[in-house]
Structure formats: C-alpha cells, structure tokens
Homo-oligomer: A and B are copies of this chain.
Amino acid sequence: MASSTEFSLARTIALLKRTPAAFDALLRGLPEHWVHTNEGKDTWSAYDIVGHLVVLERTDWMARLHRILEHGEALPFDRVDRFAHLKDVQSGSLEQRLDDFARLREQNISELQALNLQPQDLTRRGSHPALGPVTLAQLLAAWAVHDLTHLHQLSRVMAHQYRQAVGPWSAFEGVLQCTGHSAPP
C-alpha cells in the first residue's frame, strides 16, 4: 500500500491512544540498567524520554490546540522547554512516569474528542514561535509523530547499551547505525 499524505483525525487518535501502552509494555519492570543508561554526556535515558513525554502531555499539545482555537495566528504558541523533565530533580519513578503519561494522554484524548472537531477546524491556523504558520491538523500529526520520534530514540538508546555485547553483529543491526537526529521541538 502506498503512503498517503492525507491527515485523518481518527487515525491520529488511534495512534495517540496506543503509544503510552507501548512504552509501558517495553519498559515497566525492566532492570534499572536498561532504564537509566543513556548514549553519553547530555543524552537521554529511557527514564528521561518518558519524563519528556509527560511534560509535553501536560503543558504543550493541548495548550497549543486551544491557542489555535482561541487566538488563531494572533498569539503564537509558548515555547516548549525540552529540558523541563531534567530540571525537576529527576522526580518520580519510571513507573510513576509511565502512569502519568498514560493518564494524561487519556485525559487529553477525551478532551480532544469532546471538541468534536470538524473538517474546517483542521485547517485553522496558529503560529509556531520558530516554524511560523501551522494548521491544527499539522499540530495533531506532529503530536503523533513526536511519539514515534521518541520510540525511535528509545530503541536506539537501549540498543546502544549492547553495542559492544553484540560483537560482529553490530554491522548488521540497523539501529546501531543510527546517529540520532535531534532537533529543537
């Protein structure tokens, strides 16, 4: 099946609903070593990644959606603090963060569905402080792809812990060839 450039609200919600459970299934109860190791100085561990997802779930996505609905392009989005989860003195266990992510996502999806957005709403525009004009549909698509970006990062961070352990197989494991693709939010 060819890929489509078309945005679908139902498809977006279906993905957003599932990602917290995917992070949970992979991480909950794992030995500490998988959870707290990173890729080196100033990089994120699995624990950090889940913390970042919690912060954005609480402060970012729905706030931006409401900003579009209430102010359009007149009032740009607030900037995201990508390091907020690091400032919070590393609070909460991984399990608490996974619980928070699931609960906040569920609340946000309920709120999103209650808005009963219509096709014309999806084309409403807001203003991103760095990217300029964006539509509501683009915001929702970016929310879903942001989950996938961090799942992609998570798989790479975890695989990195076994970079030496796999020996000659390192040449064949695609995830070990990934150099990361960080960019500001």
Q: Are the CB atoms of B174 and A162 closer together than 8 Å?
A: no
Give the Cβ gap from A59 to chain B, nearest Cβ, in Å: 17
B-chain residues with CB within 8 Å of residue A148 when the two chains form the complex: 155-156, 158-159, 173, 175
User: Interface residue count for A (Cβ, 8 Å)?
Assistant: 79
Q: Are the CB atoms of B183 and A181 closer together than 8 Å?
A: no
Q: Are the CB atoms of B165 and A174 closer together than 8 Å?
A: no
**Cross-interface CB contact of A37 among B3, B31, B164, B173, cutoff 8 Å:** B3
Q: Are the CB atoms of A145 and B166 closer together than 8 Å?
A: yes
Give the Cβ gap from A102 to chain B, nearest Cβ, in Å: 11
B-chain residues with CB within 8 Å of residue A128 when the two chains form the complex: 168-169
Q: Are the CB atoms of B141 and A169 closer together than 8 Å?
A: yes
Instruction: Check: A2 CB closer than 8 A to any chain B CB.
Output: yes
Q: Are the CB atoms of B175 and A181 closer together than 8 Å?
A: yes
Can you give 18 A-B contacts (C-beta < 8 A)? A1-B38, A2-B37, A4-B37, A5-B164, A7-B162, A18-B26, A22-B25, A134-B167, A134-B168, A134-B169, A142-B167, A144-B162, A145-B173, A145-B175, A145-B176, A149-B155, A152-B178, A174-B181
A sample of 8 more A-B contacts (CB under 8 A), given A7-B165, A138-B167, A142-B173, is A4-B33, A5-B164, A131-B171, A134-B169, A149-B176, A152-B156, A152-B159, A155-B155
Chain A interfacial positions (CB closer than 8 Å to B): 1-8, 10-11, 14-15, 18-19, 21-27, 29-31, 33-34, 36-40, 45, 128, 131-132, 134-135, 137-139, 141-142, 144-146, 148-149, 151-156, 158-169, 171-178, 180-185
